[in-house]
Chain A
């Protein structure tokens, strides 16, 4: 059996520093409590060297020049702990969620994947650094020894089986997480290290300290053996940030979103996953309650703003995700100062990069999504996509669907396309949206002249009426008589007359047009639907 433990020293500080990488090299003190009793709850080593002590008031701490003081962030601690678990699951499926700042992994059998326990520990340290904090890692033959060694030793510690007592013996007894009472007792006895504690006779220790004494003696010798309490695998990825002051402008908001997305993508990468969709949720300042109306199908409590970003292919590029979110927010801003940001990702397996050798070129899905988002910002969301016909006879009905480039089935279709060139073009139609009103003059029940868009035309040939109706059960039924017309406009007539005067036959004019008009029985008017072109 082999176990590894990851411990994040100064957890409260590192959770805050993870969200503000600029603080990494500075002395930082974390304060907690309700005013006026705001006290220092944690400090990093540089702050402690500068003179910051636990329990010091915020006012006192702020008098130490150069020490950055931040409020404790439960949201950041929660995100950091979730990221710590992700690092563990990236290496082993068996994890014990020991404490907010430490986990234990079962690494038995992983030597098939990693050459040694040192390699495993080094990987855990590297992953921790990628996620934004420094960690202490220890491996040992039992759970508690690994856990104690991770807390007690800096960097990477590998304890070979059988040398637990020797290695733990160097640690102070405080590494065993003693109660205050036992700690004072051992201090009075002159017991300062685990080696000294392990050298005490266990019967005598039991007489004086009871069962806790025996447990501490076993732990100090590295001889305790117990089973792990396995944590359930989580597939939710969420990062959040609380803001002291409301943020309203897009620029500072993008900066904060960028940080959260960096953290989220780093977590996804540690689990070898990618984001299939991103959900961003803002809590708005209380004075702006009752902000945007919830979209259909989404619950949107008052004072919150929530948007989903569906990705064409799962991605974990935080810069690309930030660009997409920015474009989305530019066109649909929250409209109120934001005091809390939550970004969550729906995880999926990442896209395989290998494409077909003989497939035609197609836009890179991630780049295409960015291009579509930019175009959407120009023309509107409802005006970009792929048209899809609906199962209805109502003229001109279609819907816009999300466009996704799919390069499948190329070869057979390509052969078909290359070998089949029709001799005649298929007639195409252009639609006037909305339909143009037209003044129509009938002669013998047939269209004879029409006036629309300020032009007066003579109908040469008419085909119709072709009557359609439907949707009588809806509020907007249709009942129309359609006509196909060939129309000649006056300028064309004059030109033909001029041609006849000069002895030449009337040459075909570009001012002829073939239109489709219809009589709308519901609105009792004539309209031009479009033109054959």
Chain B
């Protein structure tokens, strides 16, 4: 460094003294640990769910928000982490969650009746600390009601989970956390896939309906905001590799499949080894 540059540097440091501690030191952004969301395409798209941050997932009903939430819960509880679900409208289904791999004994489920209860319970959980993930499920709450939650609540929650290993996830119909979220995913649904079998037939006890089973559906996940992408946590290599795996050219959205679980039904449906539906629907409707 030349003498002139050194003089200039000293002059700048003198001027900034008391306001900026070390203006010429380069500080790298701290690396953020991420956790698998439990769905490979989502992981390829986002790089995983960041710990110590707020993740927001929104979309209309049937857009796959709950599937992503449950997959993340399954992934974390399988790693023996303790998770908490604040269910604003008491709509969580433990049967489908267990079928998806969630270890229910590792899940603290709080069944609320309104947004106010949900926000207060979330506040207490975040202050308590120690959870791998705290999910606030507002999916069944009308967006108008969620908008009444002041923005400073989300800022407070984000600050509270910073520098902790907790993933704070909000699920809702419209985005409300805005810039407080480190990762924002918008979900959309595609058409469902049905396995059709045989047409309706007349039998002695009535008309049997045509047999078909809900096989699954496709979802689209789009990254609306990602601190990881902005700050380069996700490598270009990962994005380019993901494009070949269903991610669009700019790497901001991805399609993935949702597979229906037959065990969701409370009885066994007749499905052959090759997946062909053997029964023709069910008995005649009453």
Write the residues of chain A forming the contact surface with B, with a CB cutoff of 8 angstroms: 359-364, 367-368, 370-372, 374-375, 378-379, 383-389, 393-396, 398, 400-401, 403, 405-410, 413-414, 416-418, 421-433, 442, 444-446, 461-468, 481-482, 484, 486, 508, 510-514, 519, 521, 530-533
Contact of B109 among A387, A462, A481 (CB under 8 A): A387
- In the bound assembly, the distance between CA atoms of A394 and B95 in angstroms comes to 11
Instruction: Establish whether residues B59 and A510, one from each chain, have CB atoms under 8 Å apart when the complex forms.
Output: yes
Query: Which of A359, A364, A465 has the most C-beta atoms of chain B within 10 angstroms of its own C-beta?
Result: A465
CB proximity to A under 8 Å, residues B39-70: 39-41, 43, 59-70
- In the bound assembly, the distance between CA atoms of A423 and B45 in angstroms comes to 13
Task: For B139, list chain A residues within 8 Å (CB).
Answer: 430, 533
Instruction: Please name 15 further chain A to chain B contacts, defined as beta carbons within 8 Å, in addition to the given A363-B82, A427-B217, sorted by A numbering.
Output: A359-B80, A361-B130, A363-B131, A385-B108, A389-B94, A389-B104, A396-B95, A407-B82, A413-B78, A426-B70, A427-B259, A464-B282, A531-B62, A532-B214, A533-B67
Say yes or no: is B113 at the interface (Cβ < 8 Å to chain A): yes
Task: For B282, list chain A residues within 8 Å (CB).
Answer: 464-467, 481
Task: For A510, list chain B residues within 8 Å (CB).
Answer: 59-63, 188-189
Given contacts A367-B128, A463-B281, contact A508 B190 (CB under 8 A): yes
Task: For B105, list chain A residues within 8 Å (CB).
Answer: 386, 388, 401, 406
Instruction: Establish whether residues B70 and A428, one from each chain, have CB atoms under 8 Å apart when the complex forms.
Output: yes
Contact of B80 among A367, A414, A486, A530 (CB under 8 A): A414
Task: For B285, list chain A residues within 8 Å (CB).
Answer: 442, 445-446, 464-465, 481, 519
Instruction: Establish whether residues A423 and B62, one from each chain, have CB atoms under 8 Å apart when the complex forms.
Output: no
Contact of B39 among A372, A425, A445, A465 (CB under 8 A): A425
Contact of B61 among A401, A428, A531 (CB under 8 A): A531
Contact of A421 among B40, B63, B90 (CB under 8 A): B40
Instruction: Establish whether residues A463 and B110, one from each chain, have CB atoms under 8 Å apart when the complex forms.
Output: no
0/1 interface trace, chain B 76-113, chain A, CB 8 Å (1 if under):
10111110000000111111111111001111111111
- Interface-side segment among B12-20, B234-242, B262-270: B262-270
Which 9 residue pairs of A and B lie closest in terms of their CB atoms, listed nearest first?
A363-B130, A510-B60, A371-B128, A410-B80, A426-B100, A533-B66, A387-B94, A417-B78, A383-B111
Contact of A425 among B132, B165, B257 (CB under 8 A): B257
Task: For A370, list chain B residues within 8 Å (CB).
Answer: 128
Task: For B121, list chain A residues within 8 Å (CB).
Answer: 375, 378-379
Say yes or no: is B149 at the interface (Cβ < 8 Å to chain A): no
Say yes or no: is B1 at the interface (Cβ < 8 Å to chain A): no
- Chain A residue nearest to B260 (CB atoms) is A427
- Interface-side segment among B154-162, B205-213, B225-233: B205-213
- In the bound assembly, the distance between CA atoms of A462 and B213 in angstroms comes to 9
Instruction: Establish whether residues B60 and A511, one from each chain, have CB atoms under 8 Å apart when the complex forms.
Output: yes
Say yes or no: is B120 at the interface (Cβ < 8 Å to chain A): yes
Say yes or no: is B125 at the interface (Cβ < 8 Å to chain A): yes
How far apart are A40's CB and chain B's nearest CB, in angstroms?
52
Task: For A430, list chain B residues within 8 Å (CB).
Answer: 66, 91-93, 139-140
Selected A-B contacts with CB under 8 Å, 5 pairs:
A396-B93, A426-B261, A481-B286, A482-B266, A508-B189
- In the bound assembly, the distance between CA atoms of A532 and B117 in angstroms comes to 25
Contact of A512 among B65, B90, B108, B189 (CB under 8 A): B189
Instruction: Establish whether residues A426 and B267, one from each chain, have CB atoms under 8 Å apart when the complex forms.
Output: no
Given contacts A393-B267, A481-B286, contact A530 B127 (CB under 8 A): no
Given contacts A367-B130, A389-B104, A463-B194, contact A428 B66 (CB under 8 A): yes
How far apart are B204's CB and chain A's nearest CB, in angstroms?
16
- Chain B residue nearest to A384 (CB atoms) is B110
Instruction: Establish whether residues B117 and A466, one from each chain, have CB atoms under 8 Å apart when the complex forms.
Output: no
Instruction: Establish whether residues B124 and A362, one from each chain, have CB atoms under 8 Å apart when the complex forms.
Output: no
Instruction: Establish whether residues B81 and A426, one from each chain, have CB atoms under 8 Å apart when the complex forms.
Output: no
Contact of A405 among B82, B99, B266, B283 (CB under 8 A): B82
Task: For A421, list chain B residues within 8 Å (CB).
Answer: 36, 38-40, 43, 75
- In the bound assembly, the distance between CA atoms of A128 and B60 in angstroms comes to 67
Say yes or no: is B219 at the interface (Cβ < 8 Å to chain A): yes
Instruction: Establish whether residues B61 and A389, one from each chain, have CB atoms under 8 Å apart when the complex forms.
Output: no
Say yes or no: is B191 at the interface (Cβ < 8 Å to chain A): yes
Task: For A462, list chain B residues within 8 Å (CB).
Answer: 209, 212
Instruction: Establish whether residues A378 and B62, one from each chain, have CB atoms under 8 Å apart when the complex forms.
Output: no
Given contacts A463-B213, A463-B214, A481-B282, contact A508 B191 (CB under 8 A): yes
Say yes or no: is B129 at the interface (Cβ < 8 Å to chain A): yes
- In the bound assembly, the distance between CA atoms of A428 and B281 in angstroms comes to 22
Task: For A388, list chain B residues within 8 Å (CB).
Answer: 94, 104-105
Contact of A514 among B90, B95, B192, B212 (CB under 8 A): B192
How far apart are A491's CB and chain B's nearest CB, in angstroms?
11
How far apart are A306's CB and chain B's nearest CB, in angstroms?
28
- In the bound assembly, the distance between CA atoms of A396 and B266 in angstroms comes to 9
Task: For A446, list chain B residues within 8 Å (CB).
Answer: 209, 285
Given contacts A461-B194, A463-B212, contact A512 B128 (CB under 8 A): no
- In the bound assembly, the distance between CA atoms of A364 and B128 in angstroms comes to 8
Instruction: Establish whether residues B130 and A368, one from each chain, have CB atoms under 8 Å apart when the complex forms.
Output: yes
Task: For A393, list chain B residues within 8 Å (CB).
Answer: 266-267
Instruction: Establish whether residues A426 and B78, one from each chain, have CB atoms under 8 Å apart when the complex forms.
Output: no
Contact of B124 among A374, A431, A511, A530 (CB under 8 A): A374
Say yes or no: is B143 at the interface (Cβ < 8 Å to chain A): no
Instruction: Establish whether residues B92 and A431, one from each chain, have CB atoms under 8 Å apart when the complex forms.
Output: yes
Instruction: Establish whether residues A427 and B80, one from each chain, have CB atoms under 8 Å apart when the complex forms.
Output: no
Instruction: Establish whether residues B82 and A530, one from each chain, have CB atoms under 8 Å apart when the complex forms.
Output: no
How far apart are B270's CB and chain A's nearest CB, in angstroms?
10
- Chain B residue nearest to A401 (CB atoms) is B105
Instruction: Establish whether residues B95 and A424, one from each chain, have CB atoms under 8 Å apart when the complex forms.
Output: no
How far apart are A505's CB and chain B's nearest CB, in angstroms?
12
Say yes or no: is B252 at the interface (Cβ < 8 Å to chain A): no
Instruction: Establish whether residues B94 and A398, one from each chain, have CB atoms under 8 Å apart when the complex forms.
Output: yes
